[in-house]
Amino acid sequence: MSKGTNKASNALNELRDMDELANGNSLVHELHPLVKLLVTIAYIYCVVSFSKYNLTGLFIMLIYPVLVFEFAGIKISTCFYKLRLVLPLVLMVGIFNPIFEGKAGLISMITLMMKGTFSLMASFIMVATTPIDGLCAALRKIHVPSILVTLLLLTYRYISVLVREVAIMTDAYKLRAPKQKGIAMKAWGSFLGQLLLRSMDKASELYNSMQLRAFKGEFYYASQRKLNARDLVFLVGCIACFVCARVFNITELLGGLFV
């Protein structure tokens, strides 16, 4: 399968890459998933709440993702390479601000782009250091309903199966219909429809096999390790730092020392 031509096989590669990253070994990987989830949410919340003209104050928030990336042993360029398709959309957010607001708009545009990029980096590093099982167990811990978590885990597992199938189907279609952009109209229904029919059979097989293994609508997670001191220090420390950075304009204060 040639890389770059088939959307489905690209998505498959992405998922596998993320899985490999998440199963790595580093200080960040060792942190409790729940702590990582909470810190990430706090970070994004903090970043987004900066005023749109507070460029200097926001800048200090870059330290967190940079440090975590380094501690996780993941290159920041990996994040930007993986998100290369999404990033332009994120950067487009404030693109009209300079037009409507002139030069102050330029600042708000840059601030918005920074907000978007920082939030992306933070959520990327969380997912890239936490396997999905850990994430789901963490979601259960904060009382996200079990049906949603079970659904998330099952869907995630099944996505790779069905995306692979779609990749094969589109490749086969492309070989039979060269130089054609996408699926022709007369095959619109039958293309996904065929897969849908097969998937429904698959779903009932899955259900049967789960029944045989005593599935009653909920997964039981192997006992997760408890929160330890390091987790708590990370959680409290990070949130305290975020709040400080949000309340005081540390960049400006630092600059003030020298000016």
Partner 1 sequence: MHMADALLSPAVATTMYAASAIAAGTSIIKVNKEKDSIKIPTMAVTAALVFAGQMINYTIPGTGSSGHICGGMLLTSLLGPQAGFLSMIVILAIQCLFFADGGLLALGANVWNMAFYGCFVGYYLIWKPIMKSKMSSKLKLILAPILGCVLTLQLGAFSVVLETSLSGITDLPFGTFVAIMQPIHLAIGLVEGLVTSAILLFISEARPELIKDFKPQTAWNCADGAEKAKSEGKLSFKSTIAVLAVVAIVIGGGCSLLASGNPDGLEWSLFGNAESGYSQNMGLDEDDYGVQSDAADKAQGIQDKLAFLPDYAFKNSDSVAGTTTSGLVGIAIVAAIIVVVSFIPKLIKKKEVNEQGDQQGK
Site for partner 1 in 123-152 (CB under 8 A): 123-124, 127, 135, 145, 147-148, 150-152
Q: Is 248 in the site for partner 1 (CB under 8 A)?
A: no
2, 25, 204, 223: which one contacts partner 1 (CB under 8 A)? 204
**3-state SS string over 68-132?**
HHHHHCCCHHHHHHHCCCCHHHHHCCCCCHHHHHHHHHHHHHHHHHHHHHHHHHHHHHHHHCCCH
In whole angstroms, how far apart are CA 91 and each of 88, 101, 112, 226? 5, 17, 8, 39
Shortest distance (Å) from residue 35 CB to partner 1? 16
Residue (102 or 223) nearer to partner 1, CB: 102
Compute and round to an integer the Cα radius of gyration of the chain: 23
Positions 57 through 76 that interact with partner 1 (CB under 8 A) = 57, 59-60, 62-63, 66-67, 69-71, 73
Shortest distance (Å) from residue 179 CB to partner 1? 11
Measured in degrees and rounded to the nearest 5, phi and psi for residue 121 equal: -60, -45
81, 190, 233, 236: which one contacts partner 1 (CB under 8 A)? 190
Q: Is 159 in the site for partner 1 (CB under 8 A)?
A: yes
3-state class of 205 per DSSP?
helix
Residue (223 or 258) nearer to partner 1, CB: 258
Closest CA to 29 of 159, 167, 127, 154: 127
Q: Is 38 in the site for partner 1 (CB under 8 A)?
A: no
Q: Is 236 in the site for partner 1 (CB under 8 A)?
A: no
Side chain identity, residue 257: L
Q: Is 232 in the site for partner 1 (CB under 8 A)?
A: no
Q: Is 224 in the site for partner 1 (CB under 8 A)?
A: no
In whole angstroms, how far apart are CA 50 and each of 62, 137, 237? 13, 31, 20
Positions 90 through 109 that interact with partner 1 (CB under 8 A) = 90, 93-94, 96-97, 99-108
